[in-house]
Structure 1
Amino acid sequence: MNFSLEKSIEILERTPLVLQTMLQNISDDWTSNTEGEETWSVYDVIGHLIYGEKTDWMPRAEIILSDKPDKTFESFDRFAQFEENKGKPLQELLNEFILLRQKNIELLRSKKLTNKYLEQKGIHPAFGEVTLAQLISTWVVHDLNHIAQISRVMAKQYKQDVGPWIAYLKILQS
């Protein structure tokens, strides 16, 4: 097992700053375009990350760590951001994400989690039993996945413009 809480926090605490640096003060063209029908823009992804901070990662960790007999998670609405963030400027979303993530990292650290806690289980509505270590690992990979997605969505805006170099640019070949 490669899981380490401190290693996980290294990524979790940096994600908002990576996105802030990458996206602040760039034109809406970069952040409002998608890869096609039923795909997400950069703006949509940031909204999704915010919704996860509010309703997914730490709320589910709290369920796992609670004394409640029923450890079943609420279903997560992967599309809530479309209504939740309508009309908000991207910079407002980035600022909100930074604040929510800082709060969640502080809460995570305050738990002083040992291996015993990391092995505790909750019930995911689709997957069944999952451990706290699996939840936190997924949180980290979820961040990295969406950073890659954001990069891909932005890169594809120049897909037709790179000419023959497309052969060397894997990000444009999917």
Structure 2
Amino acid sequence: MRISDATTLLARTPTTVSALLLDLPDEWLHRDDGPDTWSAYAIAGHLLHGDETNWIPRIQLIVAHGTGRTFEPFNRVAMLSWDREPVATLLDRFHATRARALQDLANLGLTADDLTLTGTHPEFGTVTLSQVLSAWVAHDLTHAAQIAEVLAGRYRHDVGPYRRYMPALDRFAPAE
């Protein structure tokens, strides 16, 4: 784990998500694969909510208190109760929130040694700062792939025999 590698990837996510979602019709943005799955729009909201309430607060808690305090549980479905806004507005909020989060991370002046600091996750117990930062990157990449899969699912039945070579069309984007 190198902090600079993590921040390089984290900085790209809002642009990647925007490239996939901007100017799509609502039927694409809000389409899901059925019960207990998320739309591309919901996934973008989930990423935004994570930046607002999860990653940086947990990293800051580790730096300030270590295992002395347990992280607040993360409401993974909070975005489902939000009033719907234009996707461009949602993505602008994500860009701004991510920029602030990365600035907050930079302001901590973390070193490689800091990556071994620990905190207490409400479900997993003791976790390292390295694990939290790694999970943030993997979370972004997982959900970017999930957005692509739910969008591709629109063509699940239209591709005919080509589906054989497109395993993403057989996966569904579960709410996670």
Name the TM-score, length of structure 2 as normaliser.
0.93
Counterpart in 2 of 1:101?
A: 98
Counterpart in 2 of 1:165?
A: 162
Measure how far apart 1:144 and its partner are.
0.3
Counterpart in 1 of 2:51?
A: 53
Q: Report the number of matched residues.
A: 171
Counterpart in 1 of 2:36?
A: 38
What CA RMSD, in Å, does the superposition of the two structures yield over aligned residues? Answer: 1.2
Name the aligned partner's letter for residue 129 of structure 1. T
How far, CA to CA, are the matches of 2:41 and 2:151 in structure 1? Answer: 11
Counterpart in 2 of 1:112?
A: 109
Name the TM-score, length of structure 1 as normaliser.
0.94
How far, CA to CA, are the matches of 2:58 and 2:155 in structure 1? Answer: 39
How far, CA to CA, are the matches of 2:69 and 2:113 in structure 1? Answer: 17
Structure 1, 63-72 or 74-83: larger mean CA deviation: 63-72
2:122 equivalent to 1:125: yes
Measure how far apart 1:87 and its partner are.
2.3
Counterpart in 2 of 1:63?
A: 61
Cα 1:69–1:29 change in 2 (3 A) is: closer
Name the aligned partner's letter for residue 141 of structure 1. A
SS at match of 2:71: coil
Counterpart in 1 of 2:149?
A: 152
How far, CA to CA, are the matches of 1:166 and 1:68 in structure 2? Answer: 49
Cα 1:69–1:6 change in 2 (3 A) is: closer
* Runs of 4+ in structure 1 over 2 Å off: 67-71
Name the aligned partner's letter for residue 23 of structure 2. N
2:86 equivalent to 1:89: yes
| 8 A contact 2:9–2:137 mirrored in 1 | yes
How far, CA to CA, are the matches of 2:163 and 2:27 in structure 1? Answer: 21
SS at match of 2:68: coil
Structure 2: gaps spanning 5 or more residues:
172-176
Name the aligned partner's letter for residue 15 of structure 1. T
Counterpart in 1 of 2:22?
A: 24
| CA distances 1:106-154 after superposition (whole Å, capped 9, x unpaired) | 1111212112211110000000000111000000000000000000000
Measure how far apart 1:67 and its partner are.
3.8
| 8 A contact 2:31–2:39 mirrored in 1 | yes
